Amino acid sequence: MPDVTHSLTAAHQLAYTYKRSLGPVLGRFFTGLRDKQIHGVRRADGKVFVPPREYDPETGDAMEEMVAVADAGVVVSWAWVKEPRPSQPLAKPFAYALIRLDDADTPLLHAVDAGSEAAMSTGMRVKARWIDEPAGAITDIACFEPG
């Protein structure tokens, strides 16, 4: 009789086993995060994209002029997550939000820790809460918080 108590199993982890360079625009953005600074890219007409894009979405022209922006801004839209999933930024109810940082023209998607849905509103001011040891990733900003 086959031993049915010992079925054949193997660990399967989906992962990329290589690293790649992010290039001058996103590279600058993520290096900046390591220093707790947020950078955008300025188009010729002055419009500042955060997060920076390498190419103008309208014309396809390269955009290279990096500018520092504030780590605080206003909520443009938000979604209230009552039951966070394990990999999401906060383990308790929070908001995903589009946040337009001061000095930027396009909003950034991130999480807001407001405590309750009632404390959330479009137009509210939020500021970044940085992790203690930033490593050059978008998760260097733990989340944004009111203020």
Of residues 22 through 41, those in contact with another protein by CB under 8 A are 22, 26, 29-30
Nearest to 63 by CA among 77, 76, 45: 45
Of 1 and 104, nearer to another protein (C-beta) is: 104
Out of 44, 68, 79, 119, the residue judged to bind another protein by CB under 8 A: 79
Q: Is 19 near another protein (CB under 8 A)?
A: no
CA distance 82 to 100: 23
Out of 44, 62, 68, 137, the residue judged to bind another protein by CB under 8 A: 137
Contact residues for 4 (Cβ-Cβ < 8 A; gap 6+) = none
Biggest distance spanned by C-alpha atoms of the chain:
77
* Nearest distance from C-beta of residue 1 to another protein, angstroms: 27
Tokens of 41: 């890219």
Number of Cβ within 10 Å of residue 32's Cβ equals: 20
Place of tokens 């490593």: 135
Of 56 and 127, nearer to another protein (C-beta) is: 56
Of 98 and 127, nearer to another protein (C-beta) is: 98
Place of tokens 């991130």: 110
Q: Is 139 near another protein (CB under 8 A)?
A: yes
Facing residues of 68 across strands? 39
Out of 28, 53, 127, 129, the residue judged to bind another protein by CB under 8 A: 53
Tell me which residues touch another protein (CB under 8 A). Answer: 14, 22, 26, 29-30, 49-51, 53, 57, 76-82, 85, 87-89, 96-98, 106-111, 117, 122, 137-139
